[in-house]
Amino acid sequence: MINKLSKTKAIDMPVYTNILFWLSLFFLAIWVNSLIGTTDIKNWAIENTLTLIALLFLILNYNTFRFSDFSYALICIFLCLHVYGSKYTYAGNPFGYWLQDVLHSSRNHYDRLVHFGFGFLLYYPLYESITKWLKFPKEDAIILPLLTILSASGLYEVIEWLVADVFFKDQGISYLGIQGDVWDSQKDTAIAFLGAIVAAVFYVSYIKIIR
């Protein structure tokens, strides 16, 4: 009986891969660094609310909804991009200023980079969840991550408006990071959708995910 119980416990305990361990350690280092060196602690806290929710979801559902190491790597890269943006605010990000100089642009494009990453990096984890857990056929599941990313991007812009104009007005400008562009929300949504389309074409054409 004792042997049976010990075997059951061994099966139920989460088994963390080496890759996942190092990804977690790397993200934790980036996250802590973003907090220690932040130039706007209130904006950091607001930006990282969704980060915390995402991490709690991944941790609490690890045994039930377990992604591949590749998907965890993509998720880690996106979260690192996001928390690095929260360190300086998106509009004041140093890497964005470097891009601004290289592209001879009139604005800091770091926020555009992260929105593109939202679509490009999270396409495959969504595809994996739709085929693995929702049991959709691979051919039918190609389009669903695109629609999910487009919908989530639009919802995020609504959340940004609520945070900036209703709940935290003092942090509104730094949180939104629109930099004087009245079409910022629409462009952010569009570029996230573009990132998802590029990912879909890449995975279907080169990785052959539907085979």
| Segment-wise mean pLDDT, segments of 10 residues, the chain, 211 residues | 41 59 95 90 86 94 91 97 89 86 86 94 96 88 94 86 62 52 80 96 79 52
Is 56 inside any structural domain? yes
Nearest one of 92, 77, 89, 110 to 44, comparing CA atoms? 89
Is 1 inside any structural domain? no
Amino acid making up residue 135: K
Is 75 inside any structural domain? yes
Q: What is the largest CA-CA distance in the chain?
A: 71
Is 5 inside any structural domain? no
- Give the torsion sign (CA, 180, 183, 185, 189): negative
- What pLDDT score was predicted for residue 12? 39
Query: In the block, which residue shows the tokens 């060196």?
Result: 37
- What pLDDT score was predicted for residue 43? 81
- What pLDDT score was predicted for residue 156? 84
Total domain count, the chain? 1
Q: Are 119 and 74 in contact (CB under 8 A)?
A: no
Is 3 inside any structural domain? no
Residue 178 vs residues 42, 135, 188: alpha-carbon distances, Å: 18, 39, 10
The C-alpha atoms of residue 47 and residue 109 are separated, in whole angstroms, by 17
Q: Are 37 and 87 in contact (CB under 8 A)?
A: yes
Is 51 inside any structural domain? yes
Which tokens go with 209?
């995910």
The C-alpha atoms of residue 80 and residue 31 are separated, in whole angstroms, by 7
Which tokens go with 177?
């990071």
Q: Are 10 and 62 in contact (CB under 8 A)?
A: no
- What pLDDT score was predicted for residue 56? 95
Is 11 inside any structural domain? no
Nearest one of 37, 126, 117, 35 to 82, comparing CA atoms? 117
Distance from the Cα of residue 76 to its chain's centroid: 8
- What pLDDT score was predicted for residue 169? 55
For 27, the domain range is: 17-207
pTM for the whole structure: 0.81
Is 113 inside any structural domain? yes
